[in-house]
Structure 1
Amino acid sequence: MKRSSLIIPVFIAMLSFGGQAPAATKFDIEETLNFTEAWYKPGRSDEDNFRRLVEGLKKISTGKKVIAKATEKAAQQGFTLFDVVAIGDGSLTDTTLIRRFAASNPAAVMYETRSKVYLNKHLKTLDALLDFAHELTHYTYREPFNPYDSRFHLKDFIKSTVEGRGGEVDAYMVECKVLQELLPGVGFARSNCQKVYDQKLGSVSKELGIQEFYKVGNHFDNLKKDLDKFAITAGELPQASNSEALFISSAWGLPYPVAAVKEYVNIMDRVCKNDQNRITLMQDKIGRAPASVDSNKDTQDFRLMFEDFKSRCDRFVSK
């Protein structure tokens, strides 16, 4: 399945940068949903299109939990579930980091994150149900990150993307559980979910999922070279292997660990360009200010800002 996009946030704004009830049967769901027809109908409102998927997911155990948790998270931010979902040409969870500061005081920065789930309008209903559960898992559980933070490192970014809470493995496991409950038996057996299914446990396995998602095939040597550039040893990502890659990021067309490297560099390029602009504003402020206690503080703030910028951005900005 090349179903899920790389759920690594794309940043915009200031920074333009997924006792148990018995499983429902196929017949139960298809009383209201036809798996093989398009889930999105232009004649219905966007909310009505989504509401049909929501009601379909609520009829199975895993789907019901996914909807409940996503609804709860949206409510914590003052939204309904339908406020945080939208129709798209691909399925992805977009998290926006908004950085706010005044030109008159570039040292004082505030951050805010917002997430939205986009669902591919071209999918059949079954695929839409699986994608929706997958993306809502990202939305609900993935921890936001701040690329302006000095602790934002490539190794942690790869791990968070692949195996972290709400990352690709977690989202795919939820997707497989939904498929198993919607189509127990043959439908599930014919899917790639078998790759992460532990026969002994009788369930999908995160351990098997991690093994699969770290397979990068013939990208392995290039991945090692990229990791070397960031002083990451093979022992720090021991699961990465040159076995054939089955799971591919639709955002980059690459295995997820390789795509995560590309996305990290892409994010940091833009972060560092934004920080250059912020440093320029701080220089302008210092240049305009008369000698005073405040200007001394501004100079100290500038030095700290510049040192932080140099430590994070030397490899990302033009000399």
Structure 2
Amino acid sequence: MVIGRLRSDDIYNQVSAYPLPEHRSTARANQAAMLYVILYFEPSILHTHQAKMREIVDKYFPDIWVISIYMGITVNLADAWEPHKAAKTALNNTLDLSNVREQASRYASVSERVHAQVQQFLKGYLREELVLDNFPRLLNCLRDGNVAIRWLMLHTADSARDPNNKRLRQIKDQILTDSRYNPKILFQLLLDTAQFEFILKEMFKHMLSEKQAKWEHYKKEGSERMTELADVFSGVKLLTRVEKNENLQAWFREISKQILLLNYDDSTAAGRKTAANSGFGRGSRISPEVLITMQIIGDLSFAWQLIDSFTSIMQESIRVNPSMKGVADYSRKHVYFPSKDHKASDPRYH
């Protein structure tokens, strides 16, 4: 029953944070790790149930084979499932060199594109209006960046290659070549993405704190404008070529009343009703759920141990540019590494 639920359901409810198909493996990563562990309690599935294992691999491991199971502990499925016939066979398509090349090349392109975008945003282009008008694009940039960082860090790690296993060496070398792997560039992408994510979070926290005040302001302004338009057609305020029209006057007054009746607690629906008012429309997009989504996307707990491999790069960067120490400290604070207390209360880590 447990394996059945893990195979079919979105237990951790993270797919909604990763709506794009190319991010599905990351969206299901925590569930995939749990499924990997639980399968050892039903070894017959690993050994003989080829159809089930093929279904599991196609859903959870079509483009990943190095996973993090807990506190940064990583497992290479190519090695772990070697003794298990059904599991090993099911993984063949994922480990095919053409697929390895495709994934490595894809993440190389994604990381280069995202890094350029992030650096552009960090140059000072992040203003409130831009964030509100382009938030889906900014959030997709964060998703792409974090997914690329995750894939590259896991699949280029030393733990991803057994020096005594020829096939694993070949796969790892293929990844390093096709991804044009450069640990310094990857580390800089990690720092820049962390800074970008932090700035976005702080901006949204600020906008959330001011949301109700701005809502009331735009509500009052919208009602007053409708009243003014109603007065234009009353025949009292004469404007060139505007004749008295009692129907339009009544209509605008009714809209003014409807605006005053709008409820802040249902601001999203109200925003749809008042799309003409840009203040209402923009403000209605801000919700605490955005911060939750960003928290999920920015989860770097998989790199709890892998991050140590970048210590020498960080130290060298600080020697060359002492101001990097502030950036490194800044990123350590704001890249999401769950605390032990958080892990104790978070079902994803049970």
TM-score, normalised via structure 2 length: 0.28
Question: Which protein, 1 or 2, shows the higher relative CO under an 8 Å CA cutoff with sep ≥ 6?
Answer: 1
Q: Which has the higher helix share?
A: 2
